[in-house]
A and B are shown apart, each in its own frame.
Chain A
Amino acid sequence: MEEYKIILFLCNWGPHTAYQQLQDDGYQIPSEVKMIRIPCTGRISKALLFKAFEMGADGVAIVGCNSGACRYGSGTLKAENNTEDTRNIIDLLGIGRERMRLATFLPDESEALKKFLTGFCEDLKQLGKSPVQPAGLQPVEASGESAQQVIARYDVYSCQDCGKCTASCPLALSGKAYSPRNIVSDIIRGNDTAEKVYADVHACLTCGICHERCPSDVNFPEFIRDMRCLLNQTRVSGERIQPHGGFFQSLMRTMTSKDIRPNRWKWLPKDIQVDPDSKILFFGGCAPYFDAFFKKHQQVNTVDILADALRLLNFFDVRPRLLEMERCCGHDLLWSGDRTNFMRLAKLNVEMIQDLGIETVITACPECYHTIGLEYEKNGISPGFTVTHLYAFLENAIHKGAVTFKPIPHRITYQDSCRMNRREEIIDLPRKLIQRLAVEQFQEMKDSGRSSLCCGNCAWTGCDAYSKALQVKRIRQAHETGSDLLVTSCPKCQIHLRCAMEDPFQETELKMEMIDLTSLIARTICWE
């Protein structure tokens, strides 16, 4: 029988003494338990706890000191929160919340520790092996491509060295020593392996303003994406440039396991009607995971967007099907340079959706829309179904329908989504829909539409002080419109902007209420 693997994060202080006592007493620590001695349970982040599962652990135990006995004060409390969030996340993933445990012991509680360890081992054997097949942290599969080929694909040679890209790049404008023009010329000169180039390639927000401005039509964001894929063939991109310890990349890699049975819809409110025979599928995206991860930190509530999207479909008599085992669309893996695992997710999703005989996929997430609707095909996976953005469905249904909108007692402004802004067929939709709403006032920010500013991050890659400065600038622009409600169309904008509003140095100055356009429509639409 295959060996079980249990990772035991053991605090150096109280419980380690108990552990040693057990060893002194001649107790054989179960061989499946791999102990890692740590300075404090509070230092083991969600990313680290989760990484153990990603790498195939069947169970993870974090063992520390009793709440009042933490040497550093708040370590145990932190560990409790991290454990709770991790349990929620592995539960959503269908790995089973029981595989993650927290326990505390005083130095003299060796017997209790022994009971805990043997009990956990037995329980895990009841549960069976973890369904995760580690995708591995090794460099991604080589495509045999060279930097020259990537340059040629986007005709980067046609760069005129005019510098318009750098002059419009929000990162450069927020003071970072960063220049897309320099990246281009460095890579053309063959400096693609230099440390600085690697860092810069991963700092780009892939927002696309530079491409918008470039007289030679150099598609910089896509060039960057492919360069990331290329550079990461020879090295592990690692957490250094991935905020939150690389948690999200880790989560998405884990979803490539065929055998996991995610429960991503179990939170669905009772009033929502779905139909298991429908030929229309609603693709939700990763919102439930985001909410679970950010629960304590910034009260992100992006599943509301999904619920409201479904309510709007129901309002117009569409009862879609849901894909219980839906995986991440792969956007963030692709844009953080991991094409191999992106392809795995793409294949899994397309296979599952095709098996259900789905004809149309509707989604409310700009990244899912862009990825499933465009990137899958580009990467050689033909979906065989059409992909529609919820806004296109709504605009059509509202145009035809005898519907109206209840007054909204707010002055609003709108944060563009980068992915939506680069797709001609949907670029105007959010504003068309906003014009229909009965708001007190709609005022655009200084930078809006095609030259709109990014929310500060893309694909959980390269968040730093400069992107923070950019976010602060953006939120100030929102305040300058005199609005009291910021409307977004991408769940990530909510997350990143909310994060920036928490900036302790700005205190409450940046705070502003936010709502997704989907929710705003759902809450005010009514029959005439």
Chain B
Amino acid sequence: MAKKISKTEVIVTGFGGQGIVLAGKILGMAAALGDHRESTLVQSYGPESRGGACCAQVIIAEKTIQYPYVKMADVLVCMSQSAYEKYKIQIKPEGYLITDRDLVNPDNQREVFDIPATRMAEELGRTMMANIIMIGFVTAVTSLISEKAAREAIMSSVPKGTEEMNLKAFTRGFEYGRSKLKGREKKAAGQTGAIA
């Protein structure tokens, strides 16, 4: 993030089985273990844990975190339409809205950073890795955690034997995120295509 905010609140949501909570856990672990900051993770239990909208709340800060629940998020990651509908009001005006392009159809109210994460995961051979691709994308777009910390956290959280694949998935999302930022920058400078 351009300006160093001392506390960043994140909501990751989607439907059950997308690895939403694992994504939240990796974000928090990377911040705490890799980047040596404070972090908390709260996962919502309730009807959503049975197939409906699923949610992980992560806070990353410089100082001890007193209250782990997120009311208004700086970063809202949505991986399903119902999750988006439910949480879209819980984002700060200057926050980042991040979505899976093929699964969420947002109303045109604010800027969206979208990535076809699930489609990319299919291309890589495992739909399950969409969450890891999403972490790569979030890392590149928001600089919430460092790339190195993210990779280490992934290595220690995913099942043995799948590290390589998951790192590849991370890279895919990360590169796409970088490219997205570059594209925005270029567009802002008036260069939309290759021909001047």
Q: Which residues of A contact B (CB under 8 A)?
A: 271, 308, 311-312, 314-315, 317, 400-403, 406, 521-528
A224 vs B175: C-alpha distance when bound (angstroms)? 46
B186 touches A527 (CB 8 A): yes
Complex Cα gap A105–B66 (Å) = 100
Chain B residues with CB below 8 A from A401, complex form: 175-176, 179, 183
Query: Is B194 a contact of A311 with CB atoms below 8 Å?
Result: yes
Query: Which residues of the partner chain B approach A406 to less than 8 Å between Cβ atoms?
Result: 193
Complex-state Cα separation, A394 to B193, whole angstroms: 14
**Chain B stretch 161-196: residues in CB contact (< 8 A) with chain A:** 172, 175-177, 179-180, 182-184, 186-187, 192-196
Most buried by B among A311, A402, A522: A402
**B102-137 interface bits toward A, Cβ cutoff 8 Å, 1 = contact, 0 = none:** 000000000000010000000000000000000000
* Chain A residues, Cβ within 8 Å of B184: 527
A317 to B179, CA, bound (A): 11
Contact of B192 with A315 in the complex, beta carbons under 8 Å: no
Per the bound structure, the CA–CA distance linking A317 and B183 in Å amounts to 11
Q: A317 contacts which of B172, B180, B182, B193 (Cβ < 8 Å)? A: B182
Report the Cα distance A45→B92, complex, angstroms. Answer: 74
The answer, among A311, A523, A528, for a CB contact under 8 Å with B180, is A528
> Which residue of B has the minimal Cβ distance to A310?
B194
Q: B192 contacts which chain A residues (CB < 8 A)? A: 526-527
Instruction: Report the minimal beta-carbon distance from B181 to chain A, rounded to whole angstroms.
Output: 8
CA distance A528 to B184 in the complex (A): 8
A311 close to B195 (CB less than 8 A) = yes
Given A400-B175, A527-B186, A527-B187: A308 in contact with B194 (beta carbons within 8 A): yes
With both chains docked as a complex, state the minimum distance between the C-beta of A109 and any C-beta of chain B, in angstroms: 51
On chain A, the residues within 8 Å of B115 by CB distance are 402
Complex CA distance for A271 and B194, rounded to whole angstroms? 10
Q: Which residues of B contact A (CB under 8 A)?
A: 115, 172, 175-177, 179-180, 182-184, 186-187, 192-196
Nearest CB in chain A: distance from B196 CB, A: 4
Shortest Cβ distance from B176 into A: residue: A402
Please state if A403 and B195 are interface contacts (CB–CB under 8 Å).
no
**A108–B179 Cα gap in the complex (Å)?**
73
A465 to chain B, nearest CB (A): 40
Chain B residues, CB < 8 A from A528: 180, 183
Complex A-B: 20 CB contacts under 8 Å:
A311-B194, A311-B196, A314-B194, A315-B193, A400-B175, A402-B176, A402-B180, A402-B182, A403-B179, A403-B183, A406-B193, A521-B194, A524-B193, A526-B192, A526-B193, A527-B184, A527-B186, A527-B187, A527-B193, A528-B180
Please report the C-alpha to C-alpha distance between residue A315 and residue B186 in the assembled complex, in whole angstroms: 9
Contact B195 A523 (CB under 8 A): yes
The distance in angstroms between the C-alpha atoms of A314 and B193, with both chains bound, is: 10
Within 8 Å by CB of A522, from B186, B187, B195, lies B195
Interfacial chain B residues near A308, Cβ < 8 Å: 194-195
- Nearest A residue to B192, CB-CB: A526
Least Cβ–Cβ distance between A234 and chain B, in angstroms = 50
Kindly provide the distance from the CB of A482 to the nearest chain B CB, expressed in whole angstroms: 28
- Find chain B residues with CB under 8 A from A521 CB: 194
Q: Are A315 and B194 in contact (CB under 8 A)?
A: yes
Q: Report how far A174 CA is from B109 CA in the complex, Å.
A: 63
Closest CB-CB distance, A357 to chain B, in whole Å? 27
Inside 8 A of A526's CB, which chain B residues have their CB? Answer: 192-193
A255–B36 alpha-carbon span in the complex (Å): 62
A522-B193, A523-B193 provided; 18 other pairs, C-beta below 8 A? A271-B196, A312-B194, A315-B193, A315-B194, A400-B172, A402-B115, A402-B176, A402-B177, A402-B179, A402-B183, A403-B183, A406-B193, A524-B193, A527-B182, A527-B184, A527-B186, A527-B187, A528-B183
A521 CA / B176 CA spacing, docked (Å): 19
Find the B residue at minimum CB distance from A524: B193
Task: Indicate whether A527 sits within 8 Å of B183 (C-beta atoms), given known contacts A400-B175, A400-B176, A402-B176.
Answer: yes
In angstroms, how far is the closest chain B Cβ from the Cβ of A265?
A: 18
Q: 7 smallest A-B Cβ distances: which pairs?
A: A527-B183, A402-B180, A315-B194, A271-B196, A401-B179, A526-B193, A402-B179
Query: For residue A403, which residues in chain B have a CB less than 8 angstroms away from its CB?
Result: 179, 183
The residue in chain A whose Cβ has the minimal distance to the Cβ of B123 is A399
For A405, give the chain B residue with the smallest CB separation: B193
Shortest beta-carbon distance from A393 to chain B in Å: 13
CB distance from A319 to the nearest CB of B (A): 13
CB pair B179–A522 under 8 Å, yes or no, is: no
A521 CA to B184 CA, complexed, in Å: 20
With A402-B183, A527-B184: A522-B194 Cβ-Cβ less than 8 Å = yes
A148–B59 Cα distance when bound, in Å, is: 78
Contact indicator A525/B196 (Cβ below 8 Å): no
Whole-angstrom distance between the Cβ of B66 and the nearest chain A Cβ: 38
A379 to B115, CA, bound (A): 48
A314 to B182 CA separation, bound complex (whole angstroms): 13
Q: How far is the CA of A259 from the CA of B194 in the complex (A)?
A: 36
In the complex, which residue of chain A has the Cβ closest to the Cβ of B113? A402
A400 touches B193 (CB 8 A): no
A497 to chain B, nearest CB (A): 24
CA distance A221 to B53 in the complex (A): 63
A311 contacts which chain B residues (CB < 8 A)? 194-196
